[in-house]
Structure 1
Amino acid sequence: MTDQRGPASQSRSVRDSGNGRAFATGLMVLAAVLMILGGIMAILQGIAAIANDDVFVNTRDYVFEFDLTVWGWIHLILGLITSLAGVALLKGSTWARIVGVALASLLVVANFMWLPYHPLWALALIAVDVLVIWALCTAPRSPVD
């Protein structure tokens, strides 16, 4: 028997593989942009904590009681590394994907510990970092051919 599929069905399969490639590329770009933006927000959070401790709520008798200046340096360093890994991910580095998941996980924990000082900001950054982890873990390793 011969293949009775016409040009329409062949072009549809080409379009489908193109959509898979676009979806995979889109997830990686989403993750990279969210990493860069989340890193910049963490950098700003760190600078605010280092420069002026009075910006944040001073909580008493909270389980996670830390020095704000130390937390500022932690957020500044993690944010800088995360932004650089996001730029590397945009350039196509495969190592940046693994580093991105690890850094986003660390930032989720750091922002959870930051909740008593600025709850809404910490929750927003946790959401961004969870989206980064999701996008990096669900995108295919290489575009669908």
Structure 2
Amino acid sequence: MTAQSHSGPGQGDHGRTAPTGQSPWVAGGATFAGVLLLLNGILAVLQGIAAIAEDDVYARIGSYVYEINLTGWGWILLILGVIAACAGAGILHGASWARAVGIALASLSLVAQFLFLPYQPVWSVIMMALDVFVIWALATYRPENARY
């Protein structure tokens, strides 16, 4: 056997580009976004259950323009969380529908976390940053077998 003298795309370039022409960061980012979406969904379900169970679980910080009953927020978070967990699992399994659903859910989650700021400000800001990352990662990812 003889060794090839020329490296193909994605070989010998120290991981700068993948064979598909996209950065390995993008492919890894999409996987990470799927994991984040799955975990974000599970945590939103738990957050929603806590808000539904008892209205005094979360301390309110001052007055806020967007005031909604915590039980209502609990149901919103519970429903979004279940759908987000399903979409995250779909992304990890390579389902084609999951990418668009993931972007839509991360966008809804970003808005919901903004509105949840008076109850858990630090948590909401962290979750909003993660939602922005999920949107970016899923929007830039192009699977090898997809046609556009």
- TM-score w.r.t. the length of structure 2 is 0.82
- RMSD (Å), alpha carbons: 2.3
Q: For 1:1-145, what aligned pairs fall within 5 Å after superposition?
A: 7-9=4-6, 11-15=7-11, 19-20=17-18, 23=24, 24-59=26-61, 61-142=63-144
**Counterpart in the other structure of 1:3:** none
CA apart distance, 1:70: 0.4
* Partner-residue secondary structure (3-state), 1:100: helix
* Partner-residue secondary structure (3-state), 2:100: helix
CA apart distance, 1:140: 2.1
* Partner-residue secondary structure (3-state), 2:108: helix
**Conserved 8 A contact 2:9-2:18:** no
**CA distance, structure 2, for counterparts of residue 43 and residue 104 of structure 1:** 15
Give the residue type in structure 1 aligned to 2:40.
G
* Partner-residue secondary structure (3-state), 1:76: helix
**Conserved 8 A contact 2:62-2:118:** no
- Largest Rg, 1 or 2: 1
Q: Deviations over 1:59-118 (max 9, x none)?
A: 554201110000001001101100001111111111100000000000000000000111
**CA distance, structure 2, for counterparts of residue 14 and residue 54 of structure 1:** 55
CA apart distance, 1:12: 4.8
Give aligned pairs, total: 137
Structure 1: unaligned runs, 5 residues or longer: 1-5
Higher helix proportion: 1
**Conserved 8 A contact 2:103-2:135:** yes
Give the residue type in structure 1 aligned to 2:49.
I
Give the residue type in structure 2 aligned to 1:7.
Q
